[in-house]
Amino acid sequence: MSESFLNKLNEEIQRHALIVSDNSRALQEVLKRIVSENKYCAETDILQTRALDKFKEEQIKHVKTKLNSNEITSKLSLLRRQIQEKERTIRDLENKLKNQNEKYENYKLEQDKLHRNNKTVLNALQKAIKQFTQHFQYTIHNAHLDDSTKYCVVVNFVIKRKESTYPIKFIFDRNTDSLLEFDASALLNEEEHESLVNCYKQSQNNIALLCTLRNLVLAKDIL
């Protein structure tokens, strides 16, 4: 009977040992699963954190890129305005240069025309002087004047190698040598003299006056 009891007791102990062993294995499985789940959660948290950090970095890069893009756009706009301003300045300078070139061309044309006119006048004057020296021969001497600011010369034209009998007085300003008046009363009557004086006052042409007087003397002497 005692042996039977002991056998049953051993069986019961073994049965409990098996139960404990099973429970221990089950507990270990649960612990492994818990550890695995915790590890998975930890890894998931790390991945989520990394993903979040990467997202933040991407957002920061995006913001920086946008800011840089805005800055570049602003700089490009400023540069474009500066280029447009330079282009306007260049166009203005080109127009001014064109106007200056046109003025210069017109000036050259005017100078060429003036040069040709001066050359024509010079040639005519040279011919007139040559003719005057060949045909307008005269004698000249000083005459006394009480006015010290003036001086007087008396001119007698030479006609056919003879001194004219119609002396003409010319009164000049002593400082400027400009002709102030003349006296041809020996050649002209009062009306003729006054008419010639008026003509000279209008023209102030000394050569024309001398030519006129010489022709009048010539006409008188021929008669």
Let me know if 221 is exposed, middle or buried by CB neighbors in 10 A (0-12, 13-18, 19+).
middle
Residue 167's pLDDT is 93
> What's the pTM value of the predicted model, to 2 decimals?
0.42
Highest mean pLDDT range out of 2-6, 56-60, 120-124, 146-150?
Answer: 146-150
Token pair 């790390």: residue = 46
Judged against a pLDDT cut of 90, whether residue 133 lies above it is answered with: no
Residue 129's pLDDT is 64
Judged against a pLDDT cut of 60, whether residue 2 lies above it is answered with: no
